[in-house]
Amino acid sequence: MKNKNSSTTAKQNFPSIPFEDQVNDDQRKYSRYVCDSRAIPHEIDGLKPVQRRILWAMWNSDARNRYTKTVKVAGLAMGYHPHGDASIQGALSQMAQNFTFANNIPLVSGEGTFGDVLDPSAIASPRYTEVKLSDFVKDLGFFESLPDIDYVKNYDETEDEPIHFVGKVPVVLLNNIQGIATGFRCFIPGHKLSDIINSQLAYLKTGKPKKITPWYKDYKGEIRLYVNDNGSHIMTTGFAFTWEDDTLYLTDAPMNWNREKVVTHLDDIIERKDNWLKDYVDYSSQTFRVELIFKKGEKPSEKEIKELFSKENNETLAYNVITHEGKLRNFQPDEIIKRFCDFRKKHLIRRFKRLAGLEREKIERNSELIRFIKERWNEKVTEIKSKKEFEEKLQKAKFIYFEWLSTIPVYRMTLDEVRKCEEAIVEAKTKYTEYTTLTKDDKKLTEFMSVELEELKTKWDPK
């Protein structure tokens, strides 16, 4: 027989939430989940979760240094990413794209067909393409930071994965990033590596970053920025042309204009017959190169060319990022650079404290080994019956690394070994002092960051 009192009590304890409030709460949670887990990049490493998991899977496989089938790498990444293989393969292929409006400097190196500016979607099947980590992503320092970053369990709690990497520059500003979430979106344009680094250097030196503007590799057209009536920041890209003697070529199209769209536009212009354009010859191969044939005696001026090809692509900029505190925020590029540099300083302090600790341990270990040899413990061991008894005697003699010392082979018990230990101690003390200074002296730490940024710029964007 049911207990009516207990049933009534259960109903009273059950939370009473209006249906509308419950739906709104679920919608907010789902919206935030999509932002965090799919669509919005992290401010520190500039990656969405699928991209980070791809790089992590590549680092832990042959794809670290050797070209590997794209489909295989995608399969490895599925161990961390709880979504379908098609989304992983698509993200991986886009990370390897190396043309205008894709990546200024790809983090993944690809072999095979990954599309081009004429048709970005013309990507070969992942069965036929291969990828590996690019040299740039290694020089960027993502994988130098691994011992000094935080990790979480993957979706099935079988392996660890990074919350985010830490590079030398804010990658979120380097390559074009687009994402659409529920209620939020991001469109972060690409910027020139040297401009980003120069802005960082200015901030480290003066406390004020240099202003940077969008830039795309190999794009020779004009990029304009303006604020519309709603207060939104708009980026505009258009056509670009070049004269070779008396021959006019179209060399660039606006963002999101593929070859088909450009050809259709040219056909529409010619069909109107109210302008100087008579015909065109398309020589495009991987990049735009379309000869524009003008009517006899109607060589167009720069103004007439711009008037005829006035169509542009407008993108509303939205610098939405997930912060290292785990919040969804909108920052302008200068604020992103400030926050990144401040975070990297804290990260480097954490790294140098760890390295100083390792050097201190080297000093202690080598000092104890010298004492161990000089006190002739190799002779005392003949009187000891077991390893455990030996460790107890070493511990009683106030050796810290007694377990390690109990495994030292007899052939190392020489004066030559003592000399090597003394040299190692001198080297370790030098490094310990260096690392300790970097954790305490902000000026020295700033100099260290400036040097590594200059080296990165010299190698990857010297102009």
Active site positions, annotated: 128
Between CA 433 and CA 441, with CA 435 as vertex, the angle to 5 degrees is 90
Within 10 A of 145 (CB to CB), how many other CB atoms are there?
Answer: 22
Contact 270, 292 (CB under 8 A): no
Q: Which residues pair with 322 in a beta bridge?
A: 42, 328
Rounded-to-integer distance, Cα 214 and Cα 60, Å:
34
Rounded-to-integer distance, Cα 438 and Cα 435, Å:
5
Rounded-to-integer distance, Cα 402 and Cα 407, Å:
9
Q: Which residues pair with 282 in a beta bridge?
A: 290
What tokens does 209 get? 């970053």
β pairing state of 320-322 and 247-252: unpaired
Residue 167 is given by DSSP the state -
What tokens does 219 get? 């794009």
Contact 254, 238 (CB under 8 A): yes
Question: How many residues are there in the chain?
Answer: 463
Burial class (CB in 10 A: 0-12, 13-18, 19+), 248: buried
Strands of the sheet with 233-237, listed across from one edge: 223-227, 233-237, 313-316
Rounded-to-integer distance, Cα 270 and Cα 248, Å:
16
Within 35-69, where are the H helices?
49-59
Name the one residue in this structure whose structure tokens are 């190196």.
109
β pairing state of 313-316 and 233-237: antiparallel
Single-letter residue type at 327: K
Residue 37 is given by DSSP the state I
Between CA 444 and CA 452, with CA 448 as vertex, the angle to 5 degrees is 170
Residue 178's φ and ψ, nearest 5 degrees, are: -130, 145
